[in-house]
Amino acid sequence: MAKGYRQAPGKSGDKKRTDGKRVAGQQDFGVPGSGGSNPHSNLQDLDYVPESVGGWKKQPRGPHVHDRHITGMTIGKSVPLVDSNWKVTGQAEYGDDIRLQGELIGKILRSPHHYAKIRSIDVSAAEAMEGVFAVATGQDSVNKFGVLPVTKDEHAMAQDKVRHVGDLVACVCAIDEATAIEAMNAIIVDYEVLPSIHDMEDGLKDSEHPIHDRGKYHIGESNVQKRVFQQFGDLDGMKSAPFVHESDWETAGLHHGFTEPHAVVAHWDPAGRLTVWTPQQVPHYLHRGLSAVLDIPMHQINVHRTFVGGGFGGKSDPFPHEMCAAILARKSGRPVRINFDREEVYWINRGRHPSRIQMGVFADDEGRIAGIETDALIDGGAFASFGHVTTYYNGVLHTAPYEIGAFNYTGARVWTNKPASGAMRGHGAVNSRCAVEVGIDAVSEQMNVDPMTFRLANLLPPHSRTITGFRVTSTGMRECLAKVREQSGWDEKFRNLPLGKGIGVGCGFFISGSGLPIHWDPENFPHATVHLQCDMDGGVTVHTGAADIGQGSDTAVAQAVSEVLALPLDMIRIRSKESDTAPVDLGSYSSRVTFMNCNAAIKAACELRDKVMKAAWEITGYNPDVLVLGDRRIYYKHDPAVGVSWLEAVHKAQADVGSLIASGAYRTPPMGGVHKGAAAGLAPAYSFSAYVAEVDVDVETGFVKITKAWAAHDCGKALNPLAVKGQIIGSCHMGMGQVLSEEMKYGRDGHLMNPDLLDYKIMSVHEMPDVVPIIVESNDPEGPFGAKEAGEGPLLPILPAVCNAIYDAIGIRINELPVTPDRLHKRIEKHCRKIKVDDPLDLPVPRFEPGPLQQVLVERAEAHAKRDHLRDIQEDRSSYVNGVLFGFDPDKPMAEQKEGWREAVVPTPQDLADPSKRAARAWGHVERRHRGDE
Amino acid sequence: MLPSAGKETWNASVNEEQHEHLVESNAILLDVLRDQVGTLGVKRGCDMGTCGCCAVLIDGEPRLSCLCLAKEAQGTQIVTVEGLADGHHLHPIQQCFAEAGGSQCGFCTPGFLIVSAALLDENPEPSRDEIKCAIEGNLCRCTGYQQIVDAVEMAASMKRNGAIPPNPTDPKSDPHPLGPDDPSLPPGSSK
Ligand code: FES
Ligand code: FES
């Protein structure tokens, strides 16, 4: 019987061939018989197919390479997360829901001291207890680990010293929790208390007992873990700029506040392999960490990611308790489950760094940003974690979205005796971005220009390079600003609201995946790999290691595959949980997953599609060039009634090979500069956002309420608008918490005072204002179907938008976060005294009178808008580097064009001359290996 | 060692099923539900009444099971998130949470579902403010609540209209069961 079939009214069955010859489109096809209930497929949904490939979807920014893979199936449509039914029925298994036969309960003994030497540990009483199966201490695991290979400074349990209250000392496992706690309390530890460090500035000094010892790489005898210096551009020009705003910021440490406390289950199977179930954002680094700590090869370990009850960066380190569970399970021969109580979650921390940031924003008399000068000292707590990168991000992520004349950054991260800081949503960029944006607001005010206009007149265009060499591809910054300006009614409200009511704007810029993987051995290893498998049933199983932490990465990858293969989502199955079955993916950090994993998935899906199309060619006689993939059907372009069902083509393709498999991988293109640290902040694409926030400030109490926010985020392309909006609103929630109420409070003696959700104030539904999420699509040339990140970038702008709105409301510049009522009240009192106003209700409110520059900038913004539009839609783009606005030729090295142009990553003594700069002091030490080098 | 509390028989109906367990007299309901009854959908977020993840219905009233002694719930009717669906038909509130994006990581979801199901039983047409008041004891770190409130609104109208969420076990659509005699051309065509 002939294969394929014809679906056309009245036409079926009249032309029967009897000579067995195949004529394209002419033969009568048999019934595919795949079962089911719907009569027809929808072929292609042309509303979602781009104009460039014959659909109806408008593309204001020109075509994209992935356009021809778009079938109109799921991309751009709001679909529920593919795992949502598990979540809403309570069947999603999180860390603490894994229950194995014969499990033991593990408990961790933690340090009561900030900093102490361990003289001895006596575990005999604990071991002797009935129902106790194993006790482990630092002796049981001497190998170091850490998320970054360059800064491994953690152990499963303390070796000789404990470094913060809550540091792990020993662990036990027992038949039940009560016995385990009992045994834990029976462990006797003899400590010798050492002088502890709590203030980050003390960390800059030499210390008798540095918290860690980095051997010859140690920076002096200090507690400086990392220092960064970057100086680019025309610094003299910057210093002589007429408009300057300098501020000194203090921002509190933050915790991610995810709802699921950490939990882990470890089990060694009878064949000697270890399986670890854990809610991890980055299972692969844990895999490496376990291998190093337990001294077993990676192939002997299966890391099983459970559902993750929120991560936000807080579950992305390999954690010591995960090692402890494995060690206890090994010792006891039984599965071990450890689950944290809320307090322990704060001890392990890895939240946002407490920081002190000195920020200078300079503008010249033509209304250009002559330079940004930042000195950021950040408090890393007791371990390195991601801190190496955080130290860079506090500076290097200022170099866009604006064109700047100079960039001068000194940054340092110090160890202190606090729970370790690490990566948290908006990693490293949040605090300093807030300072930059507030600075920009302030210089606009000095210049008498509208801060919106000032921003619009200073944006880097699409397809350009920043001052430090980051490659910016797409940018929707301009559109973001335009949209929030219009929707918020900015022009009527700005500087026109009465005392106590204010409106403010802020922008953001964030990486969409980091350019270099953390582990780059072997060098050319891809960042993400996806395997597809399609068997007799026609459904496609996706194997990926990308960790869905609630952001919906499983859904995104399913959508990508479903789109290319034109299959409905319910035919795509995601297997992303186990390292045994998933190819390596570097994990959910740096906002990399959608970008990298979906790119890998598109590649794999294209490979699978080609196999199926080839089979369809063999059946129908039409070349794949004229075949179209529609919903579960492959048909002739010029007569959709002629075609072959997906299943039939799949079966044909499976002849001889069986199950169809395909693999795709993604690696970032080569990019960026060559200076030391050039890779930090390098990303294949960047997201942009602009928010406007409105606030009510009670001038008598200092209480701030955010009343509404308009949040425009350029995510390249919203693969799933529902999820993107969820990310935008969720980011706002977290950012608003940071700006108004969240902080890890340390008492006078350095003790954490609020390790619980009662005193660590996360916004409840009543504080949360209405957020209008606005999606801007800049169609990134390299993103999957044009997409960029939407998970972290949207957090950045809300902080400065609120701070600027507070200024608009009461005329006080914020430089301390969070803006709690007590802090603001003090500021208001001080301000009143300063300007001699008795009653805060009589405070003058800032007003706006456009100066001569306003019109100049309006015109420049308009001209730039045209320039940007052309660069967007034209294939051929002239080169553009930061500096063109200042009259430089983009094709020649800057240093040749300007005397005194600097590109330096090591400071000279003059650079460090200013004693008021904090982080700069870190450069006062000589690395041990260079001692005596003079 | 503290003398451990004596054990007592505890019984209650959990999701319309009678349960009887030997529990310590000071046992917390959350522990009993998770460790003995086995309803792991009841989540533990804080153990001190701050997150709302552990909410269950006790005789129709939403309660935090982490702040409730098992004894207090002796002989009551308990409903956990597992008991909301009717077989494979989700409760409207479950369906809408999935569809409106009310659940991201999903850890807070059981708690939200329980309190909003209770709200809808009492008030078939809640305003946004009433919804907010109902869920004020629950924390969600992912969604910023907006899509949760949307979901509850959606579920309320779904319930009022008597719409029944689809049964996910029904056969999934398959467009190609028919052969050459199919009468009509499928919609949509390429140029
Ligand atoms: S666990 Fe009960 S409220 Fe948090
Ligand atoms: S969905 Fe993650 S906490 Fe609510």
**Percent share of chain B, pLDDT over 90:** 80
Question: What are the boundaries of each domain within chain A?
Answer: 95-196+260-309+315-348, 448-516+680-890
Q: Do A85 and B80 touch (CB under 8 A)?
A: no
**Residue A570 in tokens:** 């319910």
Return the ligand 1 atom nearest residue B47 CA.
1
Q: What is the pLDDT of residues A182-228, one digit of tens each?
A: 999 999 999 999 999 999 999 999 999 999 999 999 999 999 999 99
Q: Does residue B175 surpass a pLDDT of 70?
A: no
pLDDT given for residue B3 in this prediction:
65
Q: Do A85 and B90 touch (CB under 8 A)?
A: yes
- Measure CB to CB from residue A89 to each of B50, B85, B105 and give the nearest one: B85
Q: What is the pLDDT of residues A249-307, one digit of tens each?
A: 999 999 999 999 999 999 999 999 999 999 999 999 999 999 999 999 999 999 999 99
> What pLDDT band is residue B191 in, cutting at 50, 70 and 90?
very low
Q: Does domain B92-160 have CATH number 2.40.290.10?
A: no
Q: Pick the residue whose CA is nearest to atom 3 on ligand 2.
A: B140
Binding-site residues, ligand 2, Cβ < 6 A: A 259, 310, 550; B 103-108, 140-143
pLDDT given for residue B174 in this prediction:
64
Q: Do B145 and A768 touch (CB under 8 A)?
A: yes
pLDDT given for residue A28 in this prediction:
41
**B9-82 falls under which CATH superfamily?**
Beta-grasp domain (3.10.20.30)
Binding-site residues, ligand 1, Cβ < 6 A: B 44-47, 49-54, 64, 66
Helices (H), A207-300: 235-239, 283-294
Return the ligand 2 atom nearest residue B112 CA.
4
Residue of B nearest to A339 (CA): B44
Q: Count interface pairs A-B at CB distance under 8 A.
A: 276
Residues A875-888: what's their mean pLDDT? 89
Say whether residue B114 is in contact with chain A using an 8 A CB cutoff. no
> What pLDDT band is residue B178 in, cutting at 50, 70 and 90?
very low
pLDDT given for residue A114 in this prediction:
97
Residues A615-638: what's their mean pLDDT? 89
Residue type, A219: I
Print burial letters for A251-262: b (CB count within 10 Å at least 16), e (below 16): bbbbbbbbbbbb
pLDDT given for residue A23 in this prediction:
45
Q: Does residue A815 surpass a pLDDT of 90?
A: yes
**Which residue out of A81, A83, A259 has the highest number of ligand 2 atoms within 8 Å of its CB and is therefore the one to mutate?**
A259
Closest-CA residue to A413 (of A198, A200, A148): A200
Ligand nearest to the CA of A341: 1
The answer to whether A281 and A546 are in contact (CB under 8 A) is: no
Q: What is the pLDDT of residues A744-776, one digit of tens each?
A: 999 989 999 999 999 999 999 999 999 999 999
Closest-CA residue to A325 (of A312, A309, A340): A340
Interface test with A, best of B23, B139, B167, B190 (most A CBs within 10 A): B190
At a CB cut-off of 8 Å and minimum separation 6, what does A286 contact?
A: A276, A278, A280, A303, A318, A319, A322
**Residue A254 in tokens:** 């933050």
**Residue B8 in tokens:** 């007592």
Q: Does residue A14 surpass a pLDDT of 50?
A: no
Closest-CA residue to A735 (of A430, A281, A513): A430
**Which range, of A28-32, A76-80, A600-604, A822-826, averages the lowest pLDDT?**
A28-32
Q: Do A28 and B180 touch (CB under 8 A)?
A: yes
Residue of B nearest to A549 (CA): B105
pLDDT given for residue A188 in this prediction:
97
Q: Is the peptide bond before A401 cis (omega within 30 degrees of 0)?
A: yes
Return the ligand 1 atom nearest residue B44 CA.
1
Residue of B nearest to A638 (CA): B191
Q: Which three-class secondary structure state does DSSP give residue B51?
A: coil
Options 3.40.50.970, 3.30.365.10, 3.40.50.300, 3.30.2090.10; CATH for A448-516+680-890 is 3.30.365.10
Alpha carbon of B108 to ligand 2 centroid (Å): 5
Say whether residue A139 is in contact with chain B using an 8 A CB cutoff. no
**Percent share of chain A, pLDDT over 70:** 95
Q: What is the pLDDT of residues B19-53, one digit of tens each?
A: 999 999 999 999 999 999 999 999 999 999 999 99
Q: Do A764 and B189 touch (CB under 8 A)?
A: no
Q: Does residue A921 surpass a pLDDT of 90?
A: yes
Q: Which residues of chain B make contact with A38, given a CB cutoff of 8 A?
A: 173-175, 177
Report the alpha-carbon distance of residue A435 to residue A322 in Å, rounded.
37
Q: The sheet that has B17-24: what strands, in order across it?
A: B17-24, B7-14, B77-79, B55-58, B61-64
Q: Do B107 and A645 touch (CB under 8 A)?
A: no
Report the alpha-carbon distance of residue A474 to residue A715 in Å, rounded.
10
Reported CATH class of domain A95-196+260-309+315-348:
alpha beta
**Mean of all residue pLDDT scores within chain A:** 92
What phi and psi values does residue B8 have, to the nearest 5 degrees? -135, 160
Tell me how far CA of residue A507 lies from CA of A440, A695, A734, A871, B7, in angstroms: 10, 17, 16, 22, 60
Ligand nearest to the CA of A256: 2
**Burial of A625 by CB count in 10 Å (0-12 exposed, 13-18 middle, 19+ buried)?**
exposed
Q: Which of residues 541-600 of A touch B (CB under 8 A)?
A: 549-552, 568, 570-571
Q: What is the pLDDT of residues A19-55, one digit of tens each?
A: 444 444 444 443 333 333 334 455 778 899 999 888 9
Report the alpha-carbon distance of residue A841 to residue A136 in Å, rounded.
62
pLDDT given for residue A900 in this prediction:
87
> What pLDDT band is residue A675 in, cutting at 50, 70 and 90?
confident
- More confident call, B166 vs A923: A923
pLDDT given for residue A38 in this prediction:
39
pLDDT given for residue A236 in this prediction:
94
Question: What are the boundaries of each domain within chain B?
Answer: 9-82, 92-160
pLDDT given for residue A172 in this prediction:
98
The answer to whether B18 and B78 are in contact (CB under 8 A) is: no
> What pLDDT band is residue A334 in, cutting at 50, 70 and 90?
very high
Return the ligand 2 atom nearest residue B102 CA.
1
Task: Label the pairing between strands B55-58 and B77-79.
Answer: antiparallel
- Residues in chain B, how many? 191
Say whether residue B130 is in contact with chain A using an 8 A CB cutoff. no
The answer to whether A925 and A249 are in contact (CB under 8 A) is: no
